[in-house]
Structure 1
Amino acid sequence: MNEQEKLLNARDRFIDSMAKNMSLYGITHSVGRLYGLLYFNEKPMTLDEMKDELGMSKTSMSTAVRQLQELNMVEKVWKKGERKDLYQAADDWYDSFTALFTTSWRTGISLNMSTINRSLKELHNLRDNPETPDEVRASVKLDIEKYQYALDYYDWLNRFVDSLESKEIFNYIPKKE
């Protein structure tokens, strides 16, 4: 294996690892690989170049690029004389991955809080119903406490996500410059 192949092998290993990590946050492996490709590419790329490099359809590539743009991980760039759209990986990983994490967390928080609130409404009705047996009422009381604990956690998680989005978190855990 020559030096160029070793370099490409090391990049590919990192790109694959990054793509697997991004899949934890709802990003498909192929979209993660696209981000890695753009990250290591020295110049902006067209959709056709990305399609050829990754073997995806142009439609899939366009959808993937749009998803990465929404997460502030890829940006469109302009180059004099170039008629096709060009894209490159965003320079600031802190912003990019904050957008990725917070989008996923907000979705989960919202879903879970909605479910908890719906369940709490049902539990309060059970608790307040005079026909509910005492043993069920005791379980309802315990469940309400558990749901309240979960709501307190999701409130904390929401505030944590707020601190990421506002960049206040960097006052406590500074970026390395």
Structure 2
Amino acid sequence: MDSNEKLNQLKEEVYNQIADNMNSYGFPSTIGLVMGIIYYEREPMTLEQLSERTGMSKTRMSQAVRQLIQLNLARKVYGQGSRKDLYTVEQDYYSTFINLFTQNWRQTVQRNEQIKRRMRRELEELLAEDNLTDAEREDAEDLYQETEVSLEFSDWLSRMVDFFESGEIFKYVPKNVKK
């Protein structure tokens, strides 16, 4: 195996590692593969180029790039002399990590808060009824208290997301610590 083949093999391993990492984070491995390819090519790429590199359809590449854009991990860029859309990816590992995790956490917080607020309203209506047995009232009050605790947790998680997104985390866990 010549050095160029060895280098290409090692790049493929890195692409697959990024794809596996994305899968571990709860995202399709395809977007990790696309991200790795663009990242290590060090230049913007078209959907056609990505399709050729991965062996996947242009439609799948379009979906993967769209997901990366929604996660703030990729963006469309202008390429002088090119009429095709070019895409580049976030080059900062720390920003990538924060974007991935805070995206999931923020969605979880929003979804849970909506459910818990609806439950709280319904429980308040139920508790206002006169025909509840003592056992039903106790169960409803317990559930109401649990809903309040859950909303407090959602508030904490939301503040933690803000802590990460603001970069404040790096005051406490610095990016570069030399040993």
**1-structure distance, mates of 2:20, 2:147:** 32
Give the counterpart letter for 2:133 in structure 1: P
Which residue number corresponds to residue 120 of structure 2? Answer: 120
Q: 1:122 to 1:77 in 2, by over 3 A?
A: closer
Instruction: Render the CA deviation track for 1:112-155: whole Å, top value 9, x for unaligned.
Output: 11111111112122222111100111111111111111111110
Task: Trace 1:98-109 onto structure 2 (pairs within 5 A).
Answer: 98-109=98-109
Q: TM-score scaled by structure 1?
A: 0.85
Q: 1:4 to 1:121 in 2, by over 3 A?
A: same
- 3-state SS in 1 of match to 2:87: strand
Give the superposition deviation at 1:160: 0.7
**2-structure distance, mates of 1:3, 1:150:** 56
Which residue number corresponds to residue 49 of structure 1? Answer: 49
Q: What is the percentage of aligned positions where both structures have the same residue? A: 38
Which residue number corresponds to residue 152 of structure 1? Answer: 152
- 3-state SS in 2 of match to 1:76: strand
Query: Is the CA contact (8 Å cut-off) linking 1:73 and 1:97 kept in structure 2?
Result: no
Give the superposition deviation at 1:79: 4.1
Aligned residues: 177
Q: TM-score scaled by structure 2?
A: 0.84
- Note if 1:17 corresponds to 2:17: yes
RMSD (Å), alpha carbons: 2.3
**2-structure distance, mates of 1:81, 1:148:** 58
Q: 1:6 to 1:138 in 2, by over 3 A?
A: farther
- Note if 1:162 corresponds to 2:152: no
Give the superposition deviation at 1:16: 2.7
- 3-state SS in 1 of match to 2:116: helix
Q: 1:51 to 1:143 in 2, by over 3 A?
A: same
Which residue number corresponds to residue 60 of structure 2? Answer: 60
Query: Is the CA contact (8 Å cut-off) linking 1:45 and 1:86 kept in structure 2?
Result: yes
Which residue number corresponds to residue 110 of structure 1? Answer: 110
Give the counterpart letter for 1:18 in structure 2: I
Which residue number corresponds to residue 132 of structure 1? Answer: 132
Give the counterpart letter for 2:120 in structure 1: L
**2-structure distance, mates of 1:140, 1:11:** 57
- 3-state SS in 2 of match to 1:130: coil
